[in-house]
């Protein structure tokens, strides 16, 4: 089982990318969706993982920034 | 069967994103990998699909730009 975290902020770009991406993923990939607007306490965790903007998918040590919704600095 | 096109230009960012992403996809998603550096004749097709930079994944009418390797204008 692979786990991934999808960080977003509820923005239109975030929602669209989520719908596109999550539909394509292997059913064995377990994705935790984290809305940083609702859970700002996890912004530091996202930054530590290398997230510069949302939406972004973190898998292991890899970060995939998907399109551009908002800079993480703007969520603080 | 869902089909997608992964446009890239052989850059390090492109290769890393490809490895990360393609490992996560549903086996039922058929991905055509298009190296625009090798097949510049398809740059226009990528642009028409909305690709602004590589690497990018195109699924139906949706474009996911993954991180940033190179602007498509720089591939011409």
- Per-residue pLDDT tens for A14-49? 999 999 999 999 999 999 999 999 999 999 999 999
Q: What is the pLDDT of residues B13-60, one digit of tens each?
A: 999 999 999 999 999 999 999 999 999 999 999 999 999 999 999 999
* Chain B contact for A68 (CB, 8 A cutoff): yes
Compute the distance between CA of residue B76 and CA of residue A63 in angstroms, rounded to an integer.
Answer: 28
Indicate which of B52, B62, B68, B71 best probes the interface with A, i.e. most A CBs within 10 Å of its own CB: B62
| Residue B1 pLDDT greater than 90, yes or no | no
Compute the distance between CA of residue B24 and CA of residue B49 in angstroms, rounded to an integer.
Answer: 23
Q: What average pLDDT does the segment A50-66 reach?
A: 97
Compute the distance between CA of residue A35 and CA of residue B72 in angstroms, rounded to an integer.
Answer: 31
Helix (H) or strand (E) holding B12: helix B12-22
Contact across the interface for A24 and B59, Cβ inside 8 Å: yes
Predicted pLDDT of residue B23 = 92
* Chain A contact for B16 (CB, 8 A cutoff): yes
Q: How far is A33 from chain B (nearest CA, A)?
A: 16
Contact across the interface for A64 and B27, Cβ inside 8 Å: no
- Joined together, the tokens standing for residue B56 give 């990018």
The residue ranges of DSSP E strands in B1-76, in sequence order, are 2-8, 29-35, 53-59, 62-71
Indicate which of A5, A12, A20 best probes the interface with B, i.e. most B CBs within 10 Å of its own CB: A20
How does residue A1 score in pLDDT terms, banded at 50, 70 and 90?
confident
Q: In Å, what is the CA distance from A74 to each residue of A38, A41, A69?
A: 14, 14, 10
């Amino acid at each position: 089982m692979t786990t991934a975290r999808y960080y977003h902020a509820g923005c239109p770009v975030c929602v669209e990318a989520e719908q596109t991406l999550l539909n394509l993923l292997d059913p064995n990939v377990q994705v935790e969706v984290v809305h940083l607007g609702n859970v700002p306490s996890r912004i530091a965790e996202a930054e530590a993982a290398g997230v510069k903007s949302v939406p972004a998918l973190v898998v292991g040590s890899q970060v995939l920034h998907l399109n551009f919704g908002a800079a993480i600095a703007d969520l603080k």
